[in-house]
Amino acid sequence: MTHTDDARDVKRTGGEDVCADLMLKAEAKLYYDLYAPSPAPAPLLIALHGYGSKKAWMMREARHHAPAGFAVAALQGPHQHLKEAREPGGSLRYGFGWLTNFRPEDSIALHHGALLSLIAALVEQRVARREQVFLMGFSQSCALNYRFAFTHRETLRGVVGICGGLPGDWETGELYGPVRASILHLSGERDEFYPPARVSTYAERTLRCAPTTPRTSSSPRCAKTFARGSRRAR
C-alpha cells in the first residue's frame, strides 16, 4: 500500500477543517475462471457478468454460447457485496459489481487494465490467439466492454453486448474511435432497463466506429436474464 503525493502533502491546519477524498493506492486481486479445451492456442471468449452476479454463473452461460473449440475466461468484478439468503435462516450470499457513480473513472481504468492483463497472460500461456479475442458482457458490464473495445481499438475481433447499454458519453467521449471488431447487441423485449425502444438506435449510433453494420436482436421471451432459447444464438 502506498501513499500518493496529495496524502503526503496534507497540511494539518487544526480546527474543524476536513481534507476530503484523499487517495492512497492498494493492490487488488481479481479472479477469473478459465476453460481451455485445446493444448494449442485457440480463439478466446472473455465473458463478464452483470451486477450482483459472479464468474461461475457467467462461465456456465458463456460456454453455452461459445462455438466449439473456443477457450473461455470469465472475469469477476472487483466490488463485492452481500446478498440475501435464498431461504429464511440460510447463509448470506455474495455478488460482485463493476462500478458505481462514485468516481467511476477509477473503476473504468481498473476494468481496462484487467482485460489487457488477462489477454496478455493467456496469449503468453498459449491459451489464446491474440488476433481472435472476443468480449461478451451482460447487463452492467456491457457499457464497460464497449468503452474498452472502442478505446483499445486493435485488441478485439468481436464484441457481444447482452441486456445492457452504451457508454453514457458515447457521443462526446474523445477516446472512442473506429474498431476492426464486429458488434452484436442482444436485448430482451421485457427488459425493464433496456427495452427495445431504448436500444433500437444502437446499431445506428455505433455505426460511425464499426467496420460493418452492427447487429442488434431482441428476444420476446427474454427479460433481464439469459433465455434458454437464446443460448444457441451466435
What DSSP string runs through 131-158?
Answer: EEEEEEEETHHHHHHHHHHHHSTTS-SE
The CATH number covering residue 129 comes to: 3.40.50.1820
d(CA 205, CA 62): 26
Q: Residue 182: is it exposed, middle or buried by C-beta count within 10 angstroms (0-12/13-18/19+)?
A: middle
Please check whether residue 1 lies inside any domain of the structure.
no
Q: Count up the domains in the chain and report the number.
A: 1
Please check whether residue 192 lies inside any domain of the structure.
yes
Q: Which residues of the chain have pLDDT under 70?
A: 1-15, 208, 210-234
Summarize pLDDT for 54-96 with one digit per residue, the tens. 999 999 999 999 999 999 999 999 999 999 999 999 999 999 9
Q: What does the pLDDT read at residue 228?
A: 45
Query: Could you tell me the three cell numbers for 89?
Result: 435462516
Q: What does the pLDDT read at residue 196?
A: 87
Q: What does the pLDDT read at residue 209?
A: 76
Query: Could you tell me the three cell numbers for 23?
Result: 487517495
Summarize pLDDT for 163-174 with one digit per residue, the tens. 999 999 999 999
Please check whether residue 143 lies inside any domain of the structure.
yes
Please check whether residue 5 lies inside any domain of the structure.
no
Please check whether residue 177 lies inside any domain of the structure.
yes
Q: Which residues fall within 8 angstroms of residue 148, CB to CB, at 6 or more apart? A: 111, 112, 115, 135, 155, 156
Please check whether residue 4 lies inside any domain of the structure.
no
Please check whether residue 16 lies inside any domain of the structure.
no
Residue 115: give the domain boundaries. 31-232
d(CA 216, CA 61): 19
